[in-house]
């Protein structure tokens, strides 16, 4: 028995390892599933564009239900209260944006043979420079995103060691993560997106079982939400879990809106969408994704339900580590074997998104950065993408070992600010060809510089934090997510510059026609 009376023992570890072995098998089996020539980039990196609506639903859901989602959102809700429910409307709106944009992008990508959003941008604007900018933006934004999955996985390992009474955890935790990432890198290299899709289905099934079972157990045996609120008011009287203070209204909605714009600009979200078998199946899979929004709302409420479980609450308060909110709640309320299942769900909930993110980045760097400077054969292109995917995973792992977790979290928010600046080039251009390439590139530059500059100004100069602690800029109306301010500057430069160019005689480049957005190429 451990000091916190958590239901963690060697049965937990055995179940964890057995279920992780199944995950590993599925990852490698992906190379044989729906066989294709994995020496071609679209086969390795997009699964041959052969995923049906159910697999698209699972794959894109795997990007949402991540280890970081399990750890950070409930932890933030536990510590800060209602502000962090912004994640719920942001997810709902994000899928609305996806329904508007991804089917159009999928269609033109299929018709023209594009593997990445930057492929599309290059032809839409006749600009290698803008395509490289979009590719590098995606890669930079994705690095701390993968790092945060690893931080979520660390929380699972930490609570597992606490439950087993192991006090010296740093070396063991790092070794466990290294082994997990070696396995992940190996099956991603071999199977590509097919392995990520199969393991993503497995991971999502475990996640749904974990969420619904834990909620049911807590509400059945420990109390209801009203009782949880009563205890929370006693333990954390300064935190309001029900009502959002008026001064935070703008912060809430701007965080939700800015995150909405960013969600489907990340390479992993675009990569998952482009893997669909056809446009209609992509629409069906995307239309069903709001079900994951319900799951996200339930996960967020873990940050409140923990107040019903003294043993779990003791862990978080004693260690002063809010990241342990969900793992400790699970370990204190469910049997040892189920704790092993749930911990596996959260742990591989970091690995699956990491695989998809690394594949998306590898596609971009291979096609749209390196490929612009040297001619690659299809085989060499796929081989290079596999290598870059592996390297990128371990760069992200090293990033976590070197950078404190608080910095990684803020760097991810900064990544969201940066990736949002590709919106005119990727999203707006799907609906109009009137954006001029140099103006759009200038808008991207202005957006990135203003976004990064405002983050530095607020944290280091205005507030004197000495580190990155906020991504909000205080205005007379209230705090606003900096991503929206930078995007506003970006759009102003892009639209005004394009208008000036148009009145000066510039006309749109026509390599991509309106027909390419509407008609799918007939399979031969």
Token pair of 84, please?
């962090």
pLDDT tens digits for range 210-248: 999 999 999 999 989 899 999 999 988 888 888 888 888
Report how many helices (DSSP H) and strands (DSSP E) the chain contains, helices first: 22, 2
Are 67 and 149 spatial neighbours (Cβ–Cβ below 8 Å)? yes
Is residue 495 pLDDT above 70, yes or no? yes
Give the pLDDT of residue 417.
93
Give the pLDDT of residue 110.
92
Among the residue ranges 272-281, 290-299, 350-359, 372-381, the one predicted with the least confidence is: 290-299
Are 188 and 353 spatial neighbours (Cβ–Cβ below 8 Å)? no
Give the pLDDT of residue 452.
93
Question: Please, which residues have CB within 8 angstroms of residue 508's CB and are 6 or more apart in sequence?
Answer: 433, 434
Give the pLDDT of residue 54.
86
pLDDT band at 522 (very low <50, low <70, confident <90, very high): very low
3-state secondary structure of 226: helix
Residue 383 to residue 312: CA distance in whole angstroms: 47
Residue 85 to residue 74: CA distance in whole angstroms: 9
Residue 6 to residue 8: CA distance in whole angstroms: 6
Give the pLDDT of residue 482.
95
Give the pLDDT of residue 498.
97
Give the pLDDT of residue 523.
42
Classify the C-alpha dihedral 120-122-126-127 as positive or negative.
Answer: positive
Please name which of 1, 11, 3, 2 lies closest in space to residue 338, comparing C-alpha atoms: 11
- Once rounded to an integer, what is the mean pLDDT over residues 332-358? 92
In the chain, pLDDT over 70 holds for what percent of residues?
A: 95
pLDDT tens digits for range 121-160: 999 999 999 999 999 999 999 988 888 888 888 888 888 8
Residue 391 to residue 397: CA distance in whole angstroms: 10
| Element housing 473 (H / E) | strand 472-475
pLDDT tens digits for range 424-462: 999 999 999 999 999 999 999 999 999 999 998 998 888
pLDDT band at 104 (very low <50, low <70, confident <90, very high): very high
Radius of gyration of the chain (CA): 23
Is residue 515 pLDDT above 60, yes or no? yes
Report which of residues 83 and 330 the model is more confident about.
330
- Once rounded to an integer, what is the mean pLDDT over residues 471-479? 89
Give the pLDDT of residue 524.
37
3-state secondary structure of 127: coil
Residue with tokens 């239901």: 7
3-state secondary structure of 433: coil
């Amino acid at each position: 028995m451990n000091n916190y009376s958590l239901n963690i023992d060697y049965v937990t570890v055995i179940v964890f390892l057995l279920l992780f072995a199944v995950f590993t098998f599925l990852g490698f089996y992906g190379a044989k599933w729906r066989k294709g020539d994995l020496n071609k980039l679209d086969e390795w990196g997009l699964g041959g564009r052969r995923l049906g609506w159910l697999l698209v639903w699972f794959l894109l859901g795997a990007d949402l239900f991540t280890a970081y989602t399990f750890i950070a959102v409930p932890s933030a809700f536990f510590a800060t209260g209602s502000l962090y429910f912004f994640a719920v409307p942001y997810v709902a709106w994000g899928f609305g944006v996806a329904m508007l944009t991804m089917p159009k992008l999928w269609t033109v990508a299929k018709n023209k043979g594009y593997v990445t959003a930057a492929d599309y941008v290059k032809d839409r604007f006749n600009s290698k420079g803008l395509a490289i900018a979009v590719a590098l933006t995606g890669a930079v934004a994705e690095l701390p995103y993968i790092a945060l999955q690893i931080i979520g996985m660390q929380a699972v390992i930490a609570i597992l060691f606490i439950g087993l009474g192991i006090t010296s955890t740093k070396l063991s935790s790092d070794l466990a993560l290294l082994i997990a990432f070696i396995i992940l890198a190996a099956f991603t290299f071999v199977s590509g997106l097919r392995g990520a899709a199969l393991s993503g289905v497995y991971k999502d099934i475990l996640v749904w079982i974990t969420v619904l079972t834990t909620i049911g157990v807590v509400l059945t045996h420990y109390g209801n939400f009203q009782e949880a609120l009563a205890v929370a008011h006693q333990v954390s009287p300064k935190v309001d879990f029900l009502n959002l203070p008026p001064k935070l209204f703008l912060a809430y909605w701007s965080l939700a809106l800015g995150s909405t714009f960013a969600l489907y600009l990340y390479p992993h979200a675009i990569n998952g969408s482009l893997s669909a078998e056809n446009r209609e199946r992509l629409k069906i899979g995307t239309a069903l994704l709001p079900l994951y929004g319900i799951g996200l709302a339930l996960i967020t409420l873990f940050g409140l339900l923990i107040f019903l479980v003294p043993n779990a609450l003791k862990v978080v308060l004693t260690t002063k580590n809010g990241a342990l909110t969900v793992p400790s709640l699970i370990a204190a309320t469910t049997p040892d074997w189920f704790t092993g299942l749930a911990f596996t769900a959260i742990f591989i909930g970091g690995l699956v998104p990491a695989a998809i993110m690394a594949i998306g980045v590898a596609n971009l760097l291979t096609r749209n950065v390196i490929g612009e400077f040297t001619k690659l054969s299809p085989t060499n292109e796929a081989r290079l993408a596999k290598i870059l995917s592996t390297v990128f995973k371990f760069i992200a792992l090293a990033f976590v070992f070197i950078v404190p977790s608080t910095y990684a979290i803020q760097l991810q928010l900064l990544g969201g600010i940066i990736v949002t600046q590709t919106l005119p080039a990727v999203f707006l251009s799907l609906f109009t060809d009137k954006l001029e390439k140099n103006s759009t590139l200038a808008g991207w530059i202005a957006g990135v510089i203003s976004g990064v500059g405002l983050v530095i100004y607020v944290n280091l100069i205005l507030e004197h934090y000495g580190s990155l602690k906020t991504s909000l800029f205080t205005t007379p109306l209230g705090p606003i997510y900096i991503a929206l301010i930078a995007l506003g500057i970006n759009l102003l430069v892009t639209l005004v510059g394009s208008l000036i160019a148009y009145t000066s005689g510039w006309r749109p480049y026509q390599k991509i026609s309106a027909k390419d957005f509407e008609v799918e190429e007939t399979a031969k």
